[in-house]
Each structure stands twice: as C-alpha cells, then as structure tokens.
C-alpha cells in the first residue's frame, strides 16, 4: 500500500515524522495510510456543532481499518445568522475560501493518502466536494445530519410571520423556533444543506444514508465510523473522486435534485464541481433533465407538513434513487466500491411520502430554467414551492437596487413584481440569498420576486433568481424601470421584459452600474467571479 509520507526524500521524511510525533503522533503509526480528517466544526453553526464528536467516530473507523487519522479544521458560516444583512455577502465567496484552504493544507504537507471531509451546511459541503475533486485523493464526505423537530414546519413559519407582524416578541419567537431546531444538527427543511447532503450520496461521494440520518443518533455515529473504515478501503483499492465524478454521476445527482424539489443553490454548486473535473455541464442540462424527471416527494418548503426527517423515515436518498432507478445511470462506481445498481439492491422498503414514477406529484422536476429577454443566459425558479397551478404570471415592475431597499418598501400593490438587482456575484458583491425578501412578499403582498441574487432553499412562492447576466454586468435586469410589464411563463420556460428593443437601446445608452462599497476580499471576489449561469466560480 502506498504511503505518501514514506515517498518523501529520506531526510525530509525523517524531519516530517519528527514534527508529526511532536504534535502527538506515534512513530509506528506513520507507516500506515495517513488520512486527513478535514473538519469544519465550530460553536456557531448548528449543523457543524456535532462534528467535533462525529470526527472521533470517523477516526475510530480509520484506526480500525489500519490507517492513521490526522485532523485539521477550516471555516464554516451559518446562513441563518447571516440572512438579511451584509454578512450574507461573504457566504458564497466562503465556498472558494474553504476549497482553497483544504487544497493548501493537503498539498502543502504532501503526506496524506486520503481524506474524510466533515461538513453539513450550505456552502461548506459544496466546497468540500470541490476540494475532493480538485485534490483527487481517495475521499468520502460525512455530514452531521438534520435535527428532529418537535413541531410542524407550518407552526414555525406561523411564528415567524407573527413576529414580522408585531404580534409576538423576540423571546417568544426564539422559544417557538427552538421547537423546530431543538438541538445541534442541520435545520430540518429541504434547504441547501440537506439538498447537498442528499446529493453527496446521489453523486457517489458519500455512503448511503449520509444525507438524512438524524444528528446525534447511534445510526449517525455508526455511519461516521463506517466512513472512516471505507476511506482506508478506497486507498487500498485505488478509487479516486475523478473516477466517480463522471457526466453520468452528475446527471444522477441532477435527477435526484429535480425529484425532491431541492435548493436552487445546488445548481450553482454542481456547475462549480463539474468545472473542477472538466465535466461539460450547463444550465441546458438541468433544463433538459427537468422535462423528463418527475417531482416525487414534497417536504418543506414544498409542503408545510413534512421535513427531511420524514424522507429519512421513508428510506432516505437511497429510496428516492430506487424510485428513480429506471432513469439513472446505474453501472457507475461510488465510494462504497460498488455501482449504483449494487447499492440500490440494498433498498427494501420505500415509504408513501416518496411517490413512484407512475404516480408523481408533478410530471416534471421541481426546478425550472427560464430564458427570455430579461434572462438571456438563464434564470432559476423552484416550481415545486409554488402553491396552486398558475403557470403564467404577469405584473408590473417595482425596482430596487438592493435587498435593503426592498425590505424598506411600503404600499406594495398586488399587481407588482418586485425586481431586486445588484445582488449578483459581482454586483453584490457575493450574491446574497434573499430569503428575507420572500418572507416580505408573503407578509406585504406582491405577485412575485425577480432577482440576480440567490434564494435560500427554504424560500417559497413565485421567485425567480440567479438571473444572468446580472445587473452589474449590464444584463437586461439593469434596464428595468418601475411600471414595466414582466411575464413569467413556466410552461414555455420564459422570463420576459415587455419593453421594445428600441427603448432598451435608449436606456442602455445611459447605463452606469451601481457601485457598492465592499471589503478588499469582496472587491477581489467581484473582479474574478463568473456569472451565475457558470456556477459563480472564481476565474483567473
């Protein structure tokens, strides 16, 4: 078995071993496969608070399988805490920081034979997947799992709206919210965190069950230990992320995303991950697959009675994939060392919450890609989160140049479509999630929201985001004026600004992008970040 540490030149090997022993390693253990335990634990993010304890179970598995674990940490940001203020500008850029920090630690030391990457939440899991792809050592992802709520999603939502209307005070809201988030673990709705946890399984980088096994359960601890054992097996058998991350595995992940009506942010992250392994993936792939992949299971925000814990009870990601099996690429390898088909042979029972292909909730996927005169390069909308059957929405624009401007608005008309711009990757900078804006819409009225920013996986209602090109780059969204007619046509996948080309040409002649103040880090990000339709990746 290859041990990278022992491949170093003799003197450097001896010095490296001396330093590792000084840090607490046993000399005899350094001839075993050395596995990096890449941890994103901190005391701030609920989904990451359990990872310190979970890492010990991972290490136990590594040692049991004959490896030597060495742990280090990197950062993790809580999307919930950063919602609605400038802290959100840092969340998407943190994806690149995390991936870069893991690359820096692994490749600078050049002693690791494999990695177990522990992360749970929104941008952290995609960053760890990107790092695994980029570094291409045998790797496996481990999540903390969701917490188990004591109340229904609709009860939590009602409490939040009561607070926004001034009917309950802060302490009451906190007490009610703690019934929904009763302890450490991932928030239990189908936001980006749980979506990406499920997609780690669907794409083949995590063991079956990784996404939704509840936090701090005996099954979660066992799964962590099994992941430690399995990564040593991957090192021995020579299975690497780039063997797993094929176009077929990306298509499997997209089909699961569509079948569950997962977070729109997953589109950004899958595009960015594909870039790491030079897989040709575009918005057109999501649109193509959304037309042939039915929507099979609805939990919050797509339904206010069920959470991701209910998907777990119905069989979890493996059960969703079993339902989708006729549509999946099943002969491709995963971190189990077996094919998708082999993995799905283990699925015996599927709960009623996960519908069959013959009896779907909707015949097409939960996400829709829109194009048109307002979004020449595309926009995204979560169809599964829209109540009712309305497929064509028309209204008049009410334009805001920031989230703050929108949240300060009053006298919103039922005919108005709120256009929130200069929240894109470069214009934000940082492409904030506008979850607070979707809550504002539900309380204060209006037909829909359109933005070049992002939406939280928890957002519902008629909201199309990720509009490309963004306003800062001179996209058509920058030219919208109050009172312009807008059309959202879900059936025909259209997002149109009903203004003549001649009038738009006049407006473009006077276009000057809004410049927002930003920190040096965000200024650098703005200069280098790509458009949302390309994954908002940092480019040279």
What Rg, from alpha-carbon coordinates, does the chain have?
A: 23
Report the first-to-last Cα separation within the chain, whole angstroms.
37
Residue 165 has pLDDT above 90, yes or no: no
Residue 322 has pLDDT above 80, yes or no: yes
Residues in contact with 477: Cβ distance below 8 Å, sequence separation at least 6, in sequence order: 374, 375, 419, 421, 450, 452, 467, 469, 470, 471
Query: Strand 494-497 relative to strand 485-489: parallel, antiparallel, unpaired?
Result: antiparallel
* Peptide bond just before 301 cis, omega within 30 deg: yes
Percent of the chain residues past pLDDT 90, beyond the cut: 92
**Contact of 214 with 246, CB cutoff 8 Å:** no
Exposure pattern of 514-538 as b/e (b: 16+ CB <10 Å)? eebebeeebeebbeebbbbbbbbbb
The mean pLDDT value for 241-259 works out to 98
Q: Would you state the pLDDT for residue 281?
A: 98
3-class SS at 73?
Answer: strand
Lowest mean pLDDT among 25-34, 154-163, 348-357: 154-163
CA distances from 28 to 20, 60, 184, 186, 230 (A): 12, 17, 37, 38, 22
**Contact of 422 with 516, CB cutoff 8 Å:** yes
| Edge-to-edge strand ranges of the sheet holding 448-451 | 367-370, 378-382, 463-468, 448-451, 416-420, 392-400, 485-489, 494-497
Q: Which of 417, 532, 400 is nearest to 463 (CA)?
A: 417
Q: Which two tokens stand for residue 470?
A: 């963004």
Q: Would you state the pLDDT for residue 387?
A: 76
Q: Would you state the pLDDT for residue 207?
A: 98
Reduced 3-state DSSP string for 106-163: HHHHCCCCEEEEECCCCCHHHHHHHHHHHHCCCEEEECCCECCCCCCHHHHHHHHHHH
Residues paired with residue 369 on neighbouring β-strands, in sequence order: 380
**Contact of 366 with 286, CB cutoff 8 Å:** no
Residues paired with residue 362 on neighbouring β-strands, in sequence order: 295
How long a stretch of residues is the chain? Answer: 540
The mean pLDDT value for 415-443 works out to 93
Q: Would you state the pLDDT for residue 70?
A: 98
Residue 1 has pLDDT above 70, yes or no: no
Active-site residue, from 120, 456, 459, 468: 456
The mean pLDDT value for 222-230 works out to 98
Residue 389 has pLDDT above 80, yes or no: no
Percent of the chain residues past pLDDT 70, beyond the cut: 100
* Peptide bond just before 469 cis, omega within 30 deg: yes
**Contact of 216 with 209, CB cutoff 8 Å:** no
Q: In this predicted model, which residue has the larger pLDDT, 536 or 411?
A: 536
What is the CB neighbour count within 10 angstroms for residue 107?
12
Q: Would you state the pLDDT for residue 298?
A: 96
DSSP 446-476: -SEEEESSB--TT--SSEEEEEES-GGGT-G
Lowest mean pLDDT among 51-55, 298-302, 334-338, 531-535: 298-302
Q: Write the DSSP symbol of residue 425.
A: T
Q: Would you state the pLDDT for residue 164?
A: 84
User: What's the angle, vertex CA 515, arms to CA 513 and CA 518, rounded to 5?
Assistant: 150
Q: Which two tokens stand for residue 226?
A: 């099994």
Residues in contact with 492: Cβ distance below 8 Å, sequence separation at least 6, in sequence order: none
Q: Which two tokens stand for residue 188?
A: 């239990």
Q: Which two tokens stand for residue 177?
A: 């919210």
Residues paired with residue 396 on neighbouring β-strands, in sequence order: 416, 485
CA distances from 480 to 411, 451, 502 (A): 20, 11, 14
User: What's the angle, vertex CA 286, arms to CA 336 and CA 200, rounded to 5?
Assistant: 25
Q: What is the largest CA-CA distance in the chain?
A: 76
CA distances from 538 to 68, 276, 348, 470 (A): 34, 11, 43, 16
* pLDDT one-digit tens code per residue, 525-538: 999 999 999 999 99
The mean pLDDT value for 63-78 works out to 98
Residue 80 has pLDDT above 60, yes or no: yes
Mean pLDDT (the chain, rounded): 96
CA distance 464 to 383: 10
Residue with token string 């919450």: 353
CA distance 471 to 513: 7
456 is catalytic: yes
CA distances from 176 to 154, 158, 161 (A): 12, 10, 12
pTM > 0.95: yes or no: yes
* pLDDT one-digit tens code per residue, 85-137: 889 999 999 999 999 999 999 999 999 999 999 999 999 999 999 999 999 99
CA distance 394 to 483: 12
Residue with token string 């903390």: 144
Angle, to 10 degrees, between the axis of helix 265-276 and the axis of helix 192-203? 40
CA distance 259 to 357: 10
Q: Would you state the pLDDT for residue 213?
A: 98
* pLDDT one-digit tens code per residue, 392-408: 999 999 999 999 999 99
Residue 2 has pLDDT above 80, yes or no: no
439: left (phi over 0), alpha (psi -120 to 50) or beta: alpha
Residue 435 has pLDDT above 90, yes or no: no
Q: Would you state the pLDDT for residue 161?
A: 86
The mean pLDDT value for 483-505 works out to 97
């Amino acid at each position: 078995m290859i041990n990278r540490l022992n491949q170093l030149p003799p003197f450097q090997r001896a010095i490296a071993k001396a330093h590792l022993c000084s840090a607490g390693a046993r000399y005899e253990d350094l001839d075993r496969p050395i596995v990096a335990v890449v941890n994103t634990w901190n005391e701030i993010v609920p989904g990451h608070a359990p990872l310190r304890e979970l890492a010990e179970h991972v290490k136990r598995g590594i040692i049991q399988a004959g490896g030597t674990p060495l742990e280090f940490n990197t950062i993790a940001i809580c999307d919930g805490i950063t919602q609605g203020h400038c802290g959100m500008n840092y969340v998407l850029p943190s994806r690149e920081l995390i991936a870069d920090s893991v690359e820096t630690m692994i490749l600078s030391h050049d002693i690791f034979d494999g990695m177990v990457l522990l992360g749970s939440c929104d941008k952290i899991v995609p960053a760890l997947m990107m790092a695994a792809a980029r570094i291409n050592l045998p790797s496996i992802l481990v999540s903390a799992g969701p917490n188990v709520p004591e109340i229904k999603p609709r009860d939590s939502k009602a409490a939040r709206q009561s607070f926004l209307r001034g009917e309950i005070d802060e302490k009451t809201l906190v007490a009610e919210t703690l019934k929904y988030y009763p302890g450490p673990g991932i928030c239990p709705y189908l936001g980006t965190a749980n979506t990406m946890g499920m997609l780690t399984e669907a794409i083949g980088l995590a063991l079956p069950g990784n996404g939704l096994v509840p936090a701090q359960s005996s099954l979660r601890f066992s799964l962590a230990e099994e992941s430690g054992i399995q990564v040593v097996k991957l090192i021995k058998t020579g299975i690497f992320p780039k063997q797993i991350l094929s176009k077929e595995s990306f298509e499997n992940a997209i089909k699961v995303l569509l079948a569950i009506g997962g977070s729109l942010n997953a589109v950004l992250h899958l595009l960015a991950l594909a870039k790491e392994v030079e897989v040709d993936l575009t918005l057109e792939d999501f649109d193509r697959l959304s037309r042939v992949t039915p929507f099979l299971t609805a939990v919050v925000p797509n339904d206010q009675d069920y959470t991701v814990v209910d998907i777990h009870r119905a069989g979890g990601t493996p059960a969703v994939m079993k339902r989708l099996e006729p549509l999946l690429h099943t002969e491709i390898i995963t971190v189990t060392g077996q094919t998708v088909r082999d993995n799905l042979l283990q699925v015996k029972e599927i709960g009623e919450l996960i519908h069959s292909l013959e009896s779907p909730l909707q015949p097409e996927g939960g996400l829709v890609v829109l194009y048109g005169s307002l979004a020449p390069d595309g926009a995204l909308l979560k169809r599964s989160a829209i109540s009712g059957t309305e497929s064509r929405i028309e209204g008049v624009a009410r334009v805001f140049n920031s989230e703050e401007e929108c949240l300060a608005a009053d006298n919103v008309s039922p005919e108005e479509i709120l256009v929130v711009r200069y929240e894109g990757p470069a214009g934000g900078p940082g492409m904030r999630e506008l979850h607070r804006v979707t809550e504002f819409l539900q309380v204060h009225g209006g037909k829909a929201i359109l933005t070049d920013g992002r939406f939280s996986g928890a957002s519902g209602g008629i909201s199309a985001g990720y509009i490309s090109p963004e306003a800062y780059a001179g996209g058509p969204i920058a030219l919208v004026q109050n009172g312009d007619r807008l059309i959202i046509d879900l059936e025909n996948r259209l997002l149109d600004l009903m203004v003549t080309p001649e009038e738009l040409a006049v407006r473009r002649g006077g276009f000057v992008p809004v410049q927002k103040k930003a920190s040096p880090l965000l200024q650098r990000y703005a200069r280098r970040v790509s458009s949302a339709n390309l994954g908002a990746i940092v480019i040279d």
